[in-house]
Amino acid sequence: MSRIGKHPVPVPAGVDVKVDGQQVTAKGKLGQLSMTLIDDITAALEDGKVVVKPANDSKRARVMWATSRTLINNMVTGVSQGYTINLEINGVGYRASVQGKELVMQLGFSHDVKYPIPEGITIKCDKPTAISVSGYDKHKVGQVAAEIRGWKKPEPYKGKGIKYETETVLRKEGKKK
């Protein structure tokens, strides 16, 4: 059984957390996030910490206990520190740049790939082969990074494509004579 739900979520200075019934709202310097808890979970603000507990002893309550605690922790961390995912581009002629509110990538297609940057997300290209996706909503940052990576996933023979900074591409051996 997971024991993550037993730990209270610490609320750092500069973050305002409100618990109103099943609605939990976190407001910080980077933005504001809110979520609605399911009926089987209760949350309370005690001594500057958010305590999440199952409302009853059902299986669904036990399953969602740690999940709800983790989602609240992600909200609090997001509005105070934010999240960043770094992507790397490998391949001859492959590059990316931010032009206005669009990420423009040259990925070996006959045309440039233009990706509109969603609201609440900032994308930086310090080098033409490095993309940094950051924001305060962990789900949205991960989704945007996955969509950018989806344009040209890394292939196993030459390693060309867009990959996460922490990802390792398993390389395959080419044809033999």
Q: With 0.85 as the threshold, say if the pTM is over it.
A: yes
Q: 45-48 — which CB contacts under 8 Å span 24+ positions? A: 45/11, 45/17, 45/18, 45/19, 46/8, 48/10, 48/11
Task: Using the predicted structure, report yes or no on whether residue 161 has a pLDDT greater than 90.
Answer: yes
Q: For 109-142, what is each residue's pLDDT tens digit?
A: 999 999 999 999 999 999 999 999 999 999 999 9
Alpha helices per DSSP H over 3-108: 59-80
Q: Give residue for tokens 């996955």.
A: 146
Report the distance separating Cα 20 and Cα 112, nearest Å: 47
pLDDT at 26 exceeding the cut of 80: yes
Angle 20-64-138 (CA atoms, 0-180°, nearest 5)? Answer: 75
Please determine, for residue 1, whether its predicted confidence score (pLDDT) is greater than 80.
no
The confidence band for 177, taking pLDDT boundaries of 50, 70 and 90, is confident
Is the confidence at residue 2, as pLDDT, over 80? no
Q: How far apart are CA 47 and CA 26, in angstroms?
A: 16
